[in-house]
Amino acid sequence: MDRHLHFIADNFQRRAMIQAAMRKAIELGRENFFHGLGMDALSDDDVTLFAGEAWKAYDRVIEFDYPTYAQSLFFKAYRMAYQVCQRDLPHGIHPSTATLAEEFEELAGLLPQEPPPSPPA
C-alpha cells in the first residue's frame, strides 16, 4: 500500500491528522461509556496503548515529513479528546471533533498568530 506524504506545517493536513486521532479517542470513550465499563476504566497507560494502535493504523497510510512530531501531536490530541469524553459524556454532552481540534491547535500554539493592531495615528 502506498503511503501519502503529508506536511506537518500544512494546516489542513495537520488538522486532518488531529481530527483522526480525536475521532478514534471519542469512539473509544463512547464505547466505554455506553457499554457500562465506566469512564474511569482506562488508565493513562491504557489510553496511550489505544492511541498507539490508532497511530499505527494511521501511519500505514499517511507519512509525515516530521514523523516523531506528528506522532506526538497525535497522542496528545487523542488523550485530550478522551479526557473530554470522560468529562462530558456523563452529562449528555457529545464533543465535536472540529471544535476540539481547533481548541487543541490553539492551546498547542499551532494556529497562525494575528498581528497586533497598529496604534491609532
Question: What pLDDT, in 10s, does the model give residues 70-82?
Answer: 999 999 999 999 9
What pLDDT was estimated at residue 88? 87
**Do the Cβ atoms of 80 and 22 come closer than 8 Å?**
yes
Can you tell me the mean pLDDT for 18-22? 95
- In whole numbers, what is the pLDDT of the chain averaged over residues? 87
**Do the Cβ atoms of 111 and 105 come closer than 8 Å?**
yes
Domain boundaries, the chain: 4-107
Helix (H) or strand (E) holding 33: helix 11-34
Higher pLDDT residue, 109 or 24?
24
User: String of b and e for 79-118 (b: at least 16 CB within 10 Å)?
Assistant: bbbbebbbebbeeeeebebeebbbebbeeeebeeeeeeee
What pLDDT was estimated at residue 116? 66
What pLDDT was estimated at residue 78? 95
Question: What pLDDT, in 10s, does the model give residues 26-42?
Answer: 999 888 887 765 545 67
Write the DSSP symbol of residue 35. T
